[in-house]
Chain A
Amino acid sequence: MSYPKFEVIEQPAGRLRLITDEQCWLEFKPVWASPLSHPGKYLALLDGKDKEILIVNEPDELDEGTRKLLISELERRVLTAQITEIIEAQTEFGVTYWLTETSRGRKEFVTQSLQENALWLAPHQLLLIDVNGNRFEIPDTQALDPESQKKLFATV
């Protein structure tokens, strides 16, 4: 463990506090340092000025209470949806219309210029960025059902 001992509590409701042996932060936020290539690892805590307070390489090692609070706060902060099924992917005039089932429910979105907005992060990991900058991740394209894969690979 290369970070100082710390605890996160919720007080008052909705507001997290970070307490170390030396200081108590009333304003801080958890962020993933490398959310796409190292999901679930390297959890950084930043102060109100976005400066690193500490970084936890293995968040699973944290005590249950702190970990739960941090993970639920991160879930609130990261709104990237994971695509679980591609219902429709239709390209017309350089625009692709997607109808997908995601981890956050059914979502319709539009992508343009897929050469820029379909980013292969790993051989089977794809990030689609829609025209408004919203991100949709496919963590493993091979895990999609065959029909979804067919639609995906006919498009990107």
Chain B
Amino acid sequence: MALAAAEKEKSPEKILLSLTADLTESAEFGERLLEITQKSVRVCLPDGMPVQVIDLEDVASAKSESLVSGGRILATLKTGEQIPVVSYTLTHAEVFSDAAHIIDEMAKGESPFIALEQKVSRCPKCERLLPEDTTVCPRCVSRSKAMLRIAKYLVPYKKQALRLASIALVSTLMTLLPGLIMKQIIEAYENSLGESELFKWMGIWAGILFTMVVLKVLNDRLMVFLAANISADLKNATYRAIEFLRLSYFDRKPVGAIASRVSMDTDRIWHFLVDGLPFLFNNALILIGVIVILMVQNWFLAVCIIMPFPFIILISMKVWRPISNLFHRASQKVARVHMQLHESLSGIRVVKAFAREDHEYKKFIQRNTDFRDASLYADQRWITAHGTMNLVIQSGTIVTWTVGGLMLYRNQISMGEFILFNAYLGLAYGPLHWFAQINNWFSRAMAGAERIFEIMDMPREIVEGEGEQHTVQGSVEFEKVRFGYDKSNPILKEVNFKAEAGQMIGLVGHSGAGKSTTINLICRFYEPNAGRILIDGKDIQDLSLQDFRSQIGIVLQEPFLFHGTIAENIRYGRPDASIEEIMRAARAANAHDFILAKPEGYDTMVGERGVRLSGGEKQRISIARAILHDPQILIFDEATSSVDVETEKQIQEAIQRLVKGRTTFAIAHRLSTLRSADRLIVLDRGKIIEEGSHEELMAKKGDFYKLVQTQSQVNEIIGIA
């Protein structure tokens, strides 16, 4: 019997693979072990007791099935019976999808390569769950290391930073002098030293004030200089890191949220560096200075002043933690406002076309109100917390005045000393008053830094200098390629084909068949989950990505033009191209004539995303761009589907000129346009179901024939044929 019950003893067979699933048989959260041996598949309780054992020789096939928020492995027995083997959440979908594949291969008598590893989901130090795509635990990450990493951005400006630190040090120490002068003046009065003593000290005080103002101006100028530069450098570094992230990152994150990281998070770090850090530095110095001077003057009164410090700091930390969370919540709300703004402005044409201005306005109001409420709540709590802190600090003042006053009454200290203590009271408690603010700044800056460093530390698409430089001849081969954007839901399953150099391959199939995915893999926008892609017999992963991509040309259904002139857009892939070369490419793309007809010709600004051009014009410019780029592998992804028939004819002519001598992959909505392809590959649900020339496939009267027939009928109905 294939399915054994729980009582079946665990056999001593060697376990080839053991994975931990996180759902029980009744789909509740709980651990189950999936163990694969040479002969069976077992699902066990965490203590090793099997709850299900399936003999592999009874299994016909196995697959992973994508479910909502998770998946399961299904085994189909040779009797036709279907058994759910194990369920799991999306956390483990990738590895269990691969496990299903292994079971399937073993059931079919193959010997799969088993090297699966479950990703680490908890921090080994604090046992907390780890955030996505990173092994960095935000709780255990060293804040001092994060600070040092931020401080590296000061390195190019170390001279200015040192100058700033020196000025800050001097001006801070000067802040302590007026208190001492007050003491001297009072003591001069008590000792009847005359008015000249007063004028002497006031002269010194005026000099100090003047120097401090000059130093403050210098200090602020330097600070502004550092702020501007560090902010710009941080933004540049973040943008550069984002640029080289894998495309899968952009699939998951809205553009608005990414843009917010570049602007808002870097601003937070900047804010801390230029405001928070100097504040902390200055006030720490003042505090040390005050304590030293007071201790020298009268240690008992100094202790009275210092005594409340630990309580104030403790209360401050207690009060500020929830406040910091509230500010974080408000920052999320403002990011949602930015996302809404970005989305509605990007789609402003659609908004206007459907007269949905009021609807978008309401959405904006909703998000803006959410932000207002969150911000107001955080600010009001902050004000309350600030008041509480004030109360604590003021009570420290009361204690000092009571003790100091008594000492003055009992002649244990002089009036001068009392005045000095009083003057330093504000200096000592003032920074403490804002200690929590610094903590808040620090928390916000570290949160921003963490998000930015998370991006910077993510796996990059390109490591410069990595991989072989190879002049592409054009042969492209898919060898058992399996791929899914979500690995538990493969889009391409065991795809095998070879395109010889110079061949034109048409990719055909229904929507969702895997055509665009095939192209994405050829461009190496994504890596296959299994199998290999060979370029001229070399594994694509061994080639230098940047070098390889520079030899690929791509024309998309929705051509993307950058803000700039037509000439700049055509020369995008070859910035050194001359105007003659640009015109030659435009002629070949049937774009030259319409460009010349424009008042500024090749210097015509295309507008943001090419809004000032028609769809056909944009497409021909993108073809000219591909021609000028002179790639060895060319890709057309529905390049003519969004233009009228006449424009399509012109584009087709351009394409025919372009494909000569290059390996070309074309996806076309109108199947008739693929007639000239050397070979057509018909895909269905991620598998190749037919392959051959147009004539061969039409004669075969199979799936391609049916597709052509269906399209002809549709065209007849809509009057295109």
A positions within 8 Å CB-CB of B? 12-15, 35, 49, 75-81, 90-95, 97, 102, 104-110, 112-116, 118, 130-135, 154-156
Contacts and interface: CB of A to CB of B under 8 A. Distances in A.
B372 interface: no
B69 A105 contact: no
Given A94-B138, A133-B90, 17 more contacts: A76-B27, A76-B87, A79-B68, A79-B70, A80-B69, A91-B328, A93-B447, A93-B450, A94-B447, A104-B23, A104-B28, A105-B29, A107-B29, A110-B130, A114-B329, A134-B89, A156-B332
Nearest to A114: B332
A62 B130 CA distance: 45
Interface stretch (B77-85, B211-219, B614-622): B77-85
Nearest to A155: B329
B685 A134 contact: no
A154 B79 CA distance: 55
Contact of B29 (A80, A81, A97, A115): A81
Interface stretch (B104-112, B296-304, B333-341): B333-341
Interface string B130-155: 11100000110100000000000000
Interface string B345-361: 00000000000000000
Query: How many interface residues does chain B have, given as a range?
Result: 35 or more
A148 B319 CA distance: 21
A90 B324 CA distance: 11
A95 B138 contact: yes
B426 interface: no
A114 B447 CA distance: 14
A38 B160 CA distance: 62
A107 B129 CA distance: 11
Interface string B43-86: 00000000000000000000000011110100000011111100
Nearest to B71: A79
A77 B72 CA distance: 9
Contacts of A130: 91
A115 B23 contact: no
Nearest to B449: A93
B124 interface: no
Contact of B332 (A76, A92, A115): A115
A108 B29 CA distance: 10
B326 interface: yes
B69 A156 contact: no
B702 interface: no
A92 B29 contact: no
B69 A81 contact: yes
Contacts of A91: 325, 328-329
A79 B84 contact: no
A29 B695 CA distance: 38
B583 interface: no
A154 B326 contact: yes
A14 B519 CA distance: 38
A94 B68 contact: no
B90 A155 contact: no
B562 to A, nearest CB: 27
B322 interface: yes
Contact of B69 (A78, A106, A113, A155): A78
A116 B132 CA distance: 14
B27 A79 contact: yes
Contact of A12 (B68, B81, B132, B325): B81
A104 B28 CA distance: 4
B67 A79 contact: yes
A154 B325 contact: yes
B328 A14 contact: no
Interface string B476-502: 000000000010000000000000000
28 contacts: A12-B81, A12-B82, A14-B82, A14-B83, A49-B685, A76-B27, A76-B72, A77-B68, A79-B87, A80-B69, A93-B141, A93-B446, A94-B447, A105-B29, A105-B30, A107-B29, A110-B131, A110-B132, A114-B332, A116-B254, A118-B332, A130-B91, A131-B131, A133-B69, A134-B70, A134-B89, A134-B91, A154-B326
A85 to B, nearest CB: 14
A95 B139 CA distance: 10
Contacts of B27: 75-76, 79, 104
A15 B80 CA distance: 9
